[in-house]
Structure 1
């Protein structure tokens, strides 16, 4: 074996070693790739704090994992993902970078001051609010800051609680979701009003000011939402009715409502004259009389004390009688205070577009036919009844018949893949197929030529020795075939034996063998020069071969 490797030479041994190392590495890569487990995400979009804690738990449990997206995504073997998620949930991971009421479970309250307890309570409340806000569909992360002023004794003006919320969102939040977050925070914190909650997104855009003076804006936004909700409700009612008449998807409805944004307060007092009743009656009667004595002649005798009294009998006597009656009536009245809130429906507009009728011709192709005016009038009457049409209010209902455009084929490819295989299964099979093809290419175009060169059969026929040359046993033959020299030891045979030439017999090994043979022939010529001269003469005297 040692002689075998010595005959190979250093160059061939190095080449064979390099090829062997490459083949071992290639097949090791294929084996590891085929037997490697399928990695699936354990958690995605994690904070660095949660990611480091999850990695520490995975290292402690000896679980292989991969990191993606700058460490925010962790991949684990597919067969262990469910178990690992339950284990992480038991550990409270991922926490979203916030701490909730579990802070009281992690720390001992023995010896803690009231200040520490208050701070922990505030942190827990902020963390729980942040987790709740993160559960909203478009919110990926949230951070909450609360300012809760302490209640002080003998203080008239109490400061209001405020809150600041920073959101990282996916897409945009509509005004309804923003107000929902404000009311969510206000309902969870004692003494906090919804208009004292400010909201900012990760780009620094102000979503809600929280200045406390946006009640009118909130009222206007509420009216807009009410308008949209009313339009959707009416549109749904009309579409449900028309789908039973013209068929599903054969009608399009658009509704526009106008709401009164004014808030009106009216106070009125109404009297009923027909409902009067006697409340009280006052009667005053006065009788009296007067005598007018100045009507006679004025003389000195009449003025004397002894004058005759009968002289005055000729005066005027006046009687007076007065009757006064006052009757008080009570009239029934009604006092009414009426408040008309904003959001009253002032005008309703409905537009309905219906498709026509389709029939088939002789070739089976669809043929469009418009609807009759009678059918359109019936549909309009049906719509008016459904929406509560009021002509005095200025409501409008229009029904138009037009042919709908052909819908493009938007059928999505089946996610199940081919023959109930998922897309991941197909990718995995394609990967294995590529690895198999590469393996076959290496076997046929690399390994096979090397083996063919090593085990190539090269048949070499034995050549007849010329006269005067040594035979296979080292005997020198004369020109006439006679033996000129007995066999000598250590004399190699010049005739080539039919052997299988190995691929490792390179030029270096053959040169060394020829050199050794020439040295032995030179030694033989030195020892027996006469015999050598005879052999040369025999070779020279041989006739030339045709």
Structure 2
């Protein structure tokens, strides 16, 4: 080994030492990386109570963990994230900081009725809080219930009430639909509670449930979304029919749908005629006669014209009761407006109107109508769209699109690089170091000295002599 090093030049020794250092560095980095596995997020956005509960459970399970993000995130080894999470969930960890129906798990039998009622209310509030906290936009919530008591001293005006306070995550938003969903969730869980009696607040004390639900139980945003969705469906149907009929897209369609959200309930009741004469079924008939006797000594002898007969008849009739409930959101009227090219004759317009009416199922008795107008398009003298030419003859719009694509591609490459694991960075660094060392070793090798003109002439003469000597011998 010593002879091997002695035969090497000084620069070769330096290159060999650098290569050995690179190998040792790569080996040490790989050993360090294997001894320090990557950690994955077990839970994030935790409350202090939940974080303390999770860390206690991880300590009992002897699972290594790290606490980051100011105590709001807990990390565990990456290969144990899902397994640990499933074990914690099976143990009911975290409980979310609220007490649910597990409150009755170890309850005493000697608890009074009042205490049982209070515990039930606490458990119900806790279960509702857990359900609301499961929403992506909600970080935490509080539910307060006032449940009506069904006893002799309760008044008819004492209805159940509820209030919900929601802490929304930064950058998130709770829309009207979600507020209505929270109201209906709480109202469905409490007996005798209606959605109108549930007040929803945000963390700043702003009422989110104000005017969220009307008397029909629909939110204003739900009305607009339902109407827009229905108009879009009808417009697509009309466009499909016109595309088949006109063989092009040179037309314009507008659909207006009027919906009725009134909740109407009708009760009708009528008698059903029965029997041969329609008077009904005979239930009971009673006949009796009375009169005055002519001689008190002979009661059986009646005076002429002094007798009377009574007859009572009772009939039973059938009864038919019909209850009709019209649900909110029914269609009240549909109006369709269509503009087609000027070249269509009036007869074709009438046929097209009939086809559209049949395709949409319009009802003239309801007030539905279709108006088709044949209008010539305006004459365009110049292109309205601005076109700015660049120096190379291409448009500015195209160049801006290319720049945008290039920027997006550069961002994508940067994201892919940033997602590389730690060992990849170590390998790249070691490889770059080794390449630099090899380049230095070969670039600093002594180059042969160039011959001068007399030396070249002398070498040429020797070469000629060797050639001539070889020819003579041959």
Report the TM-score, using the length of structure 2 for normalisation. Answer: 0.54
Residue matched to 1:166: 165
Greater RCO structure (CA 8 Å; 6+ sep): 2
Residue matched to 1:387: 360
Residue matched to 2:194: 193
Residue matched to 1:58: 58
Residues 1:436 and 2:403 aligned together? no
State the Cα deviation string for residues 363-394 of structure 1 (Å, max 9, x = none). Answer: xxxxxxx9975899987665443334467837
CA distance in 1, matches of 2:350, 2:422: 61
Secondary structure of the structure 1 residue equivalent to 2:358 = helix
The 1:261–1:163 alpha-carbon spacing in structure 2 relative to 1, beyond 3 Å, is: closer
Residue matched to 2:121: 122
The 1:221–1:61 alpha-carbon spacing in structure 2 relative to 1, beyond 3 Å, is: closer
CA distance in 1, matches of 2:263, 2:191: 31
Residue matched to 1:359: none
How far off is 1:243 after superposition?
5.4
Secondary structure of the structure 1 residue equivalent to 2:89 = helix
Q: Among 313, 325, 348, which residue is 2:334 paired with?
A: 348
CA distance in 2, matches of 1:49, 1:376: 72
Q: Within 5 Å, give how 1:432-511 maps onto structure 2.
A: 432-437=426-431, 440=434
Residues 1:89 and 2:79 aligned together? no
CA distance in 2, matches of 1:134, 1:111: 34
Residue matched to 2:185: 184
Residue matched to 1:229: 226
The 1:376–1:443 alpha-carbon spacing in structure 2 relative to 1, beyond 3 Å, is: farther
Secondary structure of the structure 2 residue equivalent to 1:199 = strand
Contact 1:379 1:399 in 2 (8 A): no
Q: Within 5 Å, give how 1:333-344 maps onto structure 2.
A: none
The 1:384–1:124 alpha-carbon spacing in structure 2 relative to 1, beyond 3 Å, is: same
Q: Within 5 Å, give how 1:39-118 maps onto structure 2.
A: 39-105=39-105, 107-118=106-117
CA distance in 1, matches of 2:429, 2:259: 69
Residue matched to 1:144: 143
The 1:217–1:246 alpha-carbon spacing in structure 2 relative to 1, beyond 3 Å, is: same
Bigger proportion of residues as helix: 2
How far off is 1:85 after superposition?
1.1
Contact 2:39 2:76 in 1 (8 A): yes
Contact 1:237 1:386 in 2 (8 A): no
Contact 2:65 2:76 in 1 (8 A): yes
CA distance in 1, matches of 2:242, 2:29: 66
Q: Aligned-residue CA RMSD in angstroms?
A: 5.2
CA distance in 2, matches of 1:219, 1:103: 38
The 1:243–1:68 alpha-carbon spacing in structure 2 relative to 1, beyond 3 Å, is: farther
CA distance in 2, matches of 1:436, 1:189: 66
The 1:126–1:348 alpha-carbon spacing in structure 2 relative to 1, beyond 3 Å, is: same
Q: Among 219, 224, 236, which residue is 1:239 paired with?
A: 236
How far off is 1:37 after superposition?
1.7
Residues 1:217 and 2:214 aligned together? yes
Residues 1:132 and 2:131 aligned together? yes
Residue matched to 1:458: none
Q: Within 5 Å, give how 1:415-430 maps onto structure 2.
A: 426-428=420-422, 430=424
Farther off after superposition, 220-229 or 152-161? 220-229
CA distance in 1, matches of 2:351, 2:34: 69
Aligned residues: 330
Structure 2 residues without counterparts, runs of 5 or longer: 1-22, 268-321, 378-384, 386-396, 442-474
CA distance in 1, matches of 2:61, 2:264: 69
Q: Within 5 Å, give how 1:348-427 maps onto structure 2.
A: 348-350=334-336, 373=344, 382-389=355-362, 393=367, 395=369, 426-427=420-421
How far off is 1:438 after superposition?
7.4
CA distance in 2, matches of 1:400, 1:60: 80
CA distance in 2, matches of 1:60, 1:172: 38
Contact 1:41 1:73 in 2 (8 A): yes
How far off is 1:263 after superposition?
8.0
How far off is 1:127 after superposition?
1.3
Contact 2:259 2:330 in 1 (8 A): yes
The 1:263–1:188 alpha-carbon spacing in structure 2 relative to 1, beyond 3 Å, is: closer
Q: Within 5 Å, give how 1:217-296 maps onto structure 2.
A: 217-219=214-216, 221-222=218-219, 225-226=222-223, 228-239=225-236, 242=239, 246=243, 255-259=255-259
How far off is 1:89 after superposition?
0.8
CA distance in 1, matches of 2:36, 2:332: 69
Secondary structure of the structure 2 residue equivalent to 1:102 = helix
Contact 1:223 1:343 in 2 (8 A): no
CA distance in 2, matches of 1:140, 1:400: 57
The 1:245–1:48 alpha-carbon spacing in structure 2 relative to 1, beyond 3 Å, is: farther
Contact 2:148 2:192 in 1 (8 A): no
The 1:195–1:29 alpha-carbon spacing in structure 2 relative to 1, beyond 3 Å, is: same
How far off is 1:163 after superposition?
0.7
CA distance in 1, matches of 2:372, 2:175: 31
CA distance in 2, matches of 1:203, 1:373: 61
State the Cα deviation string for residues 502-531 of structure 1 (Å, max 9, x = none). Answer: xxxxxxxxxxxxxxxxxxxxxxxxxxxxxx
